[in-house]
Amino acid sequence: MKRFFDAELETFRSHLVLMGETSIRQVRDAIRALVEADISLADRVVAADDEVDQLEIKIDDEAIRYMNLRSPVATELRFVIVGMKASHDLERVGDEASNIAKRAAKLAAEPPLKPYIDIPRMANIALEMLRDALDCFLHMDSDKAIAVVKRDSEVDAINKQLYRELTSFMIEKPGTISRAIELMFISKSIERIADHATNIAEEMVFLAQARDIRHTDELKKSTLS
């Protein structure tokens, strides 16, 4: 049976989709601004962060209103709560995109320290994780969500490897220090984005199975190390 307010849940869902797509686009553009040394693209990413923030406010408002007036229970209640949490994660993803873009703009003024290979590769994994997490969030596919959680360690491994590499650059040539530090921060931002994707995936498992898998060892078994 359809209820007259079911459309509100659809609106909520569509705002989450939009927020997910917007944050993914922001991260992709920030990385492209870095690789292509495109200052104006970097500036656009920073300016567009407000879109993500506004969507978070809208989603919170819709969730609170829905809980107040519609008294959701069971799956529906979990959907609204998890949607709200996912929107906080996406907002942080947007912030990281904006941080990456700011550093990309600074780095664009100098010659690249090294060819950008690992960073885009790492960003691609983080973005795939984010896309999969959102996808299973919308399709209630908890198997896929568990796969996302397991990939977190891939990103962690690349981040660590980059740290080692950049540290050795700094030791050998002190002139590279400021650029290496920017890249370390960018790498850390990408690692954080993967963490947010992981959070969303974990929330997804709660949505589908009413089971909290956070801070348990059940899924943290590294696939790489």
Partner 1 sequence: MPAAISPTMERPSAQPTAPALAVSAAGTAASAAARTIIDIDHVDFFYGPSQALHDVSLKLDEKKVTAFIGPSGCGKSTLLRCLNRMNDLIDGTRVAKGSIKIRGVDIHGPQVDVIELRKRVGMVFQKSNPFPKSIYDNITYGLRLQGVKDKSRLDAVVEKSLRGAALWDEVKDRLHTSGLGLSGGQQQRLCIARAIAVEPDIILMDEPCSALDPISTSKVEELIHELKKQFTIVIVTHNMQQAARCSDQTAFFYLGRLVEFADTRTIFMNPANPQTEAYVSGRFG
CB 36 within 8 Å of CB 27: no
C-alpha to C-alpha distance for 40 and 33, rounded to whole angstroms: 8
**What whole-number distance in Å separates Cα of residue 95 and Cα of residue 215?**
24
> Which stretch, 15-23, 31-39, 65-73, 133-141, contacts partner 1 (CB under 8 A)?
65-73
Burial of 168 (0-12, 13-18, 19+ CB in 10 A): exposed
- Intra-chain end-to-end CA distance of the chain, in Å: 50
Task: Give the pair of three-digit tokens for residue 63.
Answer: 């969730």
User: Which residue in 3, 164, 215, 221 binds partner 1 (CB under 8 A)?
Assistant: 3
Q: Residue 22 corresponds to which amino acid?
A: T
Residue 167's alpha-carbon distances to 34, 157, 160, 180, in angstroms, are 20, 15, 11, 8
Q: Which is nearer to partner 1, 43 or 76 (CB)?
A: 76
Nearer to partner 1, 31 or 207 (CB): 207
Query: Is the Cβ–Cβ distance between 112 and 181 less than 8 Å?
Result: no
Task: Find the shortest distance in angstroms from Cβ 67 to partner 1.
Answer: 13
Nearest-approach distance from CB 185 to partner 1, in angstroms? 41
Per the structure block, which two tokens stand in for 156? 């962690």
Going by C-alpha positions, the residue among 87, 80, 51 that lies closest to residue 64 is 80
**Smallest distance, partner 1 to C-beta of residue 4, A:** 11
Residue selected from 18, 35, 37, 77 as contacting partner 1 according to rule CB under 8 A: 77
Q: Kindly tell me which of 209 and 216 has the beta carbon lying closer to partner 1.
A: 209
The only residue of 73, 109, 115, 215 in contact with partner 1, by rule CB under 8 A = 73
Backbone angles phi, psi at 95, to 5 degrees: -60, -45
- Residues numbered 192 to 211 that lie near partner 1 (CB under 8 A) are 209-210
Binder of partner 1 out of 17, 72, 121, 128 (CB under 8 A): 72
Q: Decide: is 68 part of the binding site for partner 1 (CB under 8 A).
A: no
CB of 178 to partner 1, least distance (A): 52
Q: Between 11 and 176, whose beta carbon lies closer to partner 1?
A: 11
Using CB under 8 A, which of the segments 75-83, 166-174, 190-198, 213-221 binds partner 1? 75-83
Which positions lie near partner 1, rule CB under 8 A? Answer: 1-3, 71-78, 209-210
